[in-house]
Amino acid sequence: MTEHSTTPTPHDPHPVPESAVDPGRPGTAPDTSVLALFGQHPVGRIPVLDVQPVTDGGDRPTRSVVAELFTVSATVFREGHDAVNATVVLTDPDDVEHHVPMTQVNPGLGHWQTVVYADREGMWSFRVEGWSDPYGTWVHDGTIKVRAGVDVELMLEEGARVLERALDEVERPAEDRAVLDAAITRLRSSALTPEERLQAGIEDRVRQVLAASPLRDMVSGSRDHPWWVERPLALTGAWYEIFPRSEGATLDETTGLWTTGTFRTAAERLPAIAGMGFDVVYLTPVHPIGRTNRKGRNNTLEAQEHDPGSPYAIGSAEGGHDALHPDLGDWDDFDAFVARARQEGLEVALDLALQASPDHPWATEHPEFFTTRADGSIAYAENPPKKYQDIYPLNFDNAPETVYAQVRRVVQVWIDHGVTLFRVDNPHTKPVEFWQWLIADVAVDHPEVIWLAEAFTKPMMMRALAKVGFQQSYTYYAWRNTVPGLREYVTELATETAHYMRPSFWPTTHDILTPYMQTGGVAAHLVRSALAATLVPTYGIYAGYEHVENVNRPGAEEHVDNEKYEFKDRRWGQHVPGREDLGGWLTMLNRVRAEHPALHWLRNITFHAAEDENVLVFSKHGGGAHDGSDRDTVLVVANLDPHQVRSTRLHLSMPDLGLGLGWDDRFAAHDLVTGNRWVWDRSPFVRLGPGYGEEPVHIIHVTRS
C-alpha cells in the first residue's frame, strides 16, 4: 500500500486532511472540505441526486399557490443490498418541519417521488432526505431466511432489536409503542412457531407504525430549496380589460366631438363585469397623456385637435406615472372606483408602462432617465420598422439607483390606492435584475401584489421574467391554433415550466388580433375563449370580445379604430341590429370554472386523441388539495376549424379520466355548454359545429354512470 504523507511540501500546496486519509475513527465523519477544491458538493452517506422541481439550481424559488399539489422527485440509492428510503422535508414559514414519505416508482432504479402542497402563504423550503432503512432491511432478509430455515433464531432476535431501537430512538404515541412492545415480545416467544414470531414483526400494524415514524439511519439531506407559496389568485383567475376613458364615452353626432368616460362612469360597468364571473378588472394606463408627437386615429403620426392620444404616451404638465388624467377624475373618483370593484367582488389591476412622453416631468427633471443621441436629443422608442415618436423608453443604466427609487415610489402610490395587481407593459425591454429587485422589494410589505408580464418575446426572456418574480405571464397562446401546436405548448407549460411560470391565455388584446380571429367569426371567438378558460387556470378577455370585434387595421394584427388612439362607445346594454353578444357565453365559461375545481389547476391536464386532426381533446382531473378536485373531472372536446362542421370519433385514455374508470367502463357525460347528457365509452362519436345550435365545443362533466 502506498503511504500518503499529510505534511505539506513546496510541491503540495493543498495538504490532505488526516481525516480524509483515515476516516475510520468511530463517531467522526470524514472531512469533505477538500472536495471544494474540485468544485464538488458532498453527496452524503446516502446519495440524493437530481432533486426536482428546482429552479436554476435553487438560486430562485420553486413556486406554487396554497393547496396546489405538485410532485417532488429525486434519485436516492446506496451501496450494497440494504434497504434505502426517502423523505421530503417541508419547512414552513415558522421553521416547523413536516415530513412526507416518498415512494420508489421504479424499484431498482432509485427514482423516488411524492406529492406535496402548502397549506398557507409565505416562504417555505423543501429538501429530500435519503436514509438507510434498518427495519426494511430486516423485513427483507428475515422473511427470506426464516422461511428457508436459515439462521432463524438470529434473524428473529435481530428483528426484536430493530424494533427496540425504534422504541428507544424515535418519539411516538403510547398506542404505537404498545404495538411495537407486543411485537418484540412475540418475536422472542419460544411458545410460538418461527412463522408466527416472524409475522409478529412484519404484520400490517407494525409496518404502519414504522411507516408513520420510521427508524432512520445515515440520514443524508439534499440542499434546502426555496419554495414561495402565494395566494390562489396568482394561479387562478379571470381578467377583464377596459380602457376607462371608453366606459361611458359618448359621441355628439352633430359636432363630431366626444365626451370622455370617467372613473365614475366606468364604475357603472363593474356590476356587468362581475356578473359575467370575472375576478379582476384590468385598467390600461390612467395617467396624463403627452401632446408632443401625439398619435392620431389608427396610429397616424398627426393627431387632430380633439384626438385623445395613446394612454401609453405617459406624462404631461399635469403629471406623470403617479398622477391621474384629469379628464378621468381625481383621486376620490379613483378610490370610489376601487371601492365599487371590491363591493362587486373584483380586484383592480393597473397597467404599469415604464415609458414617458416627451412632456413627462421626468424628461426635464431627470433627463438621465433616458438615452441621449449624438445630436443631444432624447431617443424615442423604436421596434424597426415601427416607430413610437410619442414615447421615450427609460434607460436603467445611467442612474439606476435614482430610477429604481422613482419606479418603486410610483408603484407604492397605486398600492396605497387599492391596486393589487400590475399588468406590466413590455417588461422584456427593461433589465431582468430590475424586475427581480422591484418585485421582491414590494413583496416585503405587500406579498399579496401580483405581477403579470406582457412579454411576447423570446422564450428565455419570458422564462427569466417568471423565474425572478412575475407570478403570471402572457404566452404564445394567441398564435397556437392547431391541435399539435396547442398540445405541445400546453404540455410544456404544464410540466417543464409549471414550477415557476404561470400562463395567462388571452384570445385577443388591444395589441393582438390574429388572422385566425379576423377570419373565424363567431365560432373562433367561442372556441378560443373556451380553450383559454379551460386549458389553463388564468385567462383574460379584452372588452368588445362579446361583440366579436374582429376587423383589423389594414396590414396589422390589431383592431381597426383601436382604443389605443381614440374613444369607443360600445353601447353596452343596447340592442344593436346584427351585433353579436357573447356575454352569456363568457358567463357560462366562468360559471363552469367556478363550479369545477379541476379547472383551477395547471399541472393536471391529459391530452386524448381524435381521428379528425382539427379536433382537440383534453381532460383535467383533480390537481388540488382539500377542495374536492380529486373527485372532479372535466373533459373538453373542441373543433378548431371555425369554418365547417367536424364529425369524428374520439379515443379516450379512460384511466386518465380518474374516478377509477377502467378501459372498458362507461361514464356519464354531462355537456355543461348545452345541458345535453349522454353515456360515453372510450370511443364516443362527436359532431361539433362552427356556431350556435351546433356549438364548436363540448365541456363535459365526467361522472361514473
Weakest mean pLDDT among 21-30, 316-325, 477-486 = 21-30
Q: How far apart are CA 672 and CA 516, in angstroms?
A: 25
Instruction: Report the pLDDT averaged over residues 617-630.
Output: 72
Q: In 170-283, where does DSSP find H-type helix?
A: 174-187, 194-202, 204-212, 263-267, 270-275
pLDDT range class, residue 32, cuts 50, 70, 90: confident
Instruction: Report the pLDDT averaged over residues 67-87.
Output: 96
pLDDT range class, residue 627, cuts 50, 70, 90: low
pLDDT range class, residue 631, cuts 50, 70, 90: confident
Is it the case that residue 14 has pLDDT exceeding 50? no
Give the β-pairing of 103-104 and 97-101.
unpaired
Instruction: Report the pLDDT averaged over residues 103-118.
Output: 94
Instruction: Report the pLDDT averaged over residues 368-375.
Output: 94
Q: In this structure, what C-alpha cell is assigned to residue 646? A: 367536424
Instruction: Report the pLDDT averaged over residues 228-256.
Output: 97
Is it the case that residue 667 has pLDDT exceeding 80? yes
pLDDT range class, residue 564, cuts 50, 70, 90: very high
Instruction: Report the pLDDT averaged over residues 535-546.
Output: 98
Is it the case that residue 61 has pLDDT exceeding 50? yes
Residue 441 annotated to the active site: no
Mark residue 452 as left, alpha or beta (left: phi above 0; alpha: psi -120 to 50; beta: remaining).
beta
In this prediction, residue 24 carries a pLDDT of 39
Instruction: Report the pLDDT averaged over residues 68-76.
Output: 96
Contacts of 48 (CB under 8 A, 6+ apart): 74, 75, 76, 86, 128, 129, 130, 220, 221, 222
C-alpha of 118 from chain center: 15
How far, CA to CA in Å, does 627 sit from each of 66, 129, 595, 602?
A: 11, 29, 11, 15
Q: Tell me the Cα Rg of the chain.
A: 32
In this prediction, residue 201 carries a pLDDT of 98
Grid cell 472540505 in the structure block, residue: 33
Candidates 405, 352, 360, 403; CA nearest to 378 is: 360
pLDDT range class, residue 384, cuts 50, 70, 90: confident
Q: How far apart are CA 468 and CA 463, in angstroms?
A: 9
In this prediction, residue 386 carries a pLDDT of 73
Q: How far apart are CA 700 and CA 668, in angstroms?
A: 9
Instruction: Report the pLDDT averaged over residues 19-23.
Output: 37
Q: Could you read off the pLDDT of 518-538 as tens digits, one per residue?
A: 999 999 999 999 999 999 999
Is it the case that residue 107 has pLDDT exceeding 90? no
In this prediction, residue 388 carries a pLDDT of 83
In this prediction, residue 108 carries a pLDDT of 83
Q: In this structure, what C-alpha cell is assigned to residue 498? A: 409549471
Contact 318, 326 (CB under 8 A): yes
In this prediction, residue 580 carries a pLDDT of 94
pLDDT range class, residue 314, cuts 50, 70, 90: very high
Q: Could you read off the pLDDT of 193-206 as tens digits, one per residue?
A: 999 999 999 999 99
In this prediction, residue 650 carries a pLDDT of 98
Give the β-pairing of 615-621 and 667-671.
unpaired
Tell me the three-class secondary structure of 291-330, residue by residue. CCCCCCHHHCCCCCCCCCCCCCCECECCECCCCCCCCCCC
Sheet strands (E) in 117-195: 122-132
Contact 555, 239 (CB under 8 A): no
Active-site residue, from 454, 549, 580, 632: 454
pLDDT range class, residue 7, cuts 50, 70, 90: very low
* pLDDT higher at 318 or 18: 318
C-alpha of 78 from chain center: 35
Candidates 25, 24, 42; CA nearest to 33 is: 42
Q: Could you read off the pLDDT of 636-660 as tens digits, one per residue?
A: 999 999 999 999 999 999 999 999 9
Is it the case that residue 434 has pLDDT exceeding 90? yes
Residue 454 annotated to the active site: yes
Candidates 679, 621, 690, 608; CA nearest to 649 is: 608
In this prediction, residue 33 carries a pLDDT of 86
Contact 112, 104 (CB under 8 A): yes
C-alpha of 75 from chain center: 25
Active-site residue, from 425, 580, 630, 632: 425
